[in-house]
Amino acid sequence: MSKPSIAILISTYNPNPVFFKQQMDSLYKQTYPCTIFVRDDGSNDEESIRAIKTVEKDGKVIVRWCNNIGYGASFLTLLSEVEGFNYYAFCDQDDIWLPDKIERSVAALSGAAGSCIEPTLYFSHYDFYDRNMNFTGHSTFEGKDTPLSFRNALVDVNILGTTMVFNEKLRKLMIRCDANLPVSHDWWAYLISSGCGNIIEDRQVTVQYRRHGDNSSGVGNSRLQKFVFRIKEFIFNDNLSKVRKQIICFAEHYSSELNSDDQKILNLFMPGQRVIKSLRKAMFPKKWRITVPEDLQCRIIFLLGRL
């Protein structure tokens, strides 16, 4: 019996040549065979382009040179174009994967009950490193139970894209929607899998997540940094408009696949009875976000009618 096939999907944009090489080297050292696809999202830096062309020339990677559409849409576009595999993994351009990352994910997905017929997402824990790969901290959920739920996925994303591996069933669901509508590829995967499928958590660290100040996501590795980032992005930069579009897109394409409780929660974000729904969300008895400060911030946003 042949092994399940897996595609690694990378979106690049002016990658640091040194960081990119280190990431690619870690992919080549995986103990499980993979096919690697790169979609370059309109890089214009000569050294970055040269680094990508180097791996393309070596024949180890399938590269697609494309126009810039943003990292989230770029990942989802690549996901819609690559098919025929059992499993798919998102990969950033500047981290380092531990050698058994893919092998662990495939084992978990293959052994999970129902993963052959239901949309299933696997994710692992990770550690933070600085630009020189010095350890700086553990992932948010280290030593704690991860409070994953559809309710949380509507207003937050708590799974890092580069730790995700998922099956063909989830891929097909994810590409129903226009790639430009979701806020990010990893948030979209979390939202759909929490509402329409299953999530497998691996508490083992499989990724060394590099934070160097130029990441597409500006979230740091402390709760304070994460809190400040969200204040800036969702209050002052009005990224909540993108979140609203994402929720509406989800409702249009997937609401019929939710259970009755999750359908009721989703309805709180739909148009109509705005004041009443804002109050109901703000007074909801269960937490929307993980920590008390983050949850309070979310409820204030509801009361202000921003989401």
Residues 48 and 162 in one domain: yes
**22 and 130, same domain (yes or no):** yes
Pair 158, 187: CB distance under 8 Å: no
Do the beta carbons of residue 91 and residue 97 sit within 8 Å?
yes
Domain that holds residue 115: 6-210
132 in any annotated domain: yes
Least confidently predicted of 43-57, 78-92, 104-118, 138-152? 138-152
State whether 202 and 232 are in the same domain.
no
Band (pLDDT 50/70/90 cuts) for residue 85 is: very high
Beta partners for residue 37, in sequence order: 9, 62
Residues 194 and 246 placed together within one structural domain of the fold: no
pLDDT of 117 higher than 70:
yes
For residue 172, give both structure tokens: 């097909």
Question: Which pLDDT tens digit goes with each residue over 235-264?
Answer: 555 689 999 999 999 999 999 999 999 999
Residues 157 and 203 in one domain: yes
Of the two residues 108 and 233, the one the predictor is more confident about is: 108
User: Domain total for the chain?
Assistant: 2
pLDDT grade for 6, boundaries at 50, 70 and 90: very high
Question: Out of 81-95, 104-118, 233-247, which region has the weakest mean confidence (pLDDT)?
Answer: 233-247
For the chain, what is the radius of gyration of the CA atoms?
A: 19
Token pair for residue 214? 């130029």
Same domain for 156 and 36, yes or no, is yes
**Percent above pLDDT 90 for the chain:** 79
114-127 average pLDDT score: 89
**pLDDT score of 130:** 95
Confidence of residue 114 (pLDDT cuts 50, 70, 90): low
**CB atoms < 10 A from the CB of 225, how many?**
13
Q: State whether 44 and 175 are in the same domain.
A: yes
pLDDT tens readout for residues 17-53? 999 999 999 999 999 999 999 999 999 999 999 999 9
In whole angstroms, what is the distance from residue 194 CA to residue 166 CA?
A: 13
User: Within 10 A of 24 (CB to CB), how many other CB atoms are there?
Assistant: 23
pTM as predicted: 0.91
Domain shared by 295 and 194, yes or no: no
pLDDT in tens, 123-176: 999 999 999 999 999 886 655 555 789 999 999 998 999 999 999 999 999 999
215 within a domain of the structure (yes/no): no
Within-domain flag for 261: yes
The answer for residues whose C-beta is within 8 angstroms of residue 199's C-beta and 6 or more apart is 120, 121, 122, 123, 148, 159, 190, 193
The reply to whether 154 and 94 lie within a common domain is yes
Which pLDDT band, with edges at 50, 70 and 90, does 204 fall under?
very high
Same domain? For 201 and 279 the reply is no
> What's the confidence (pLDDT) of residue 222?
54
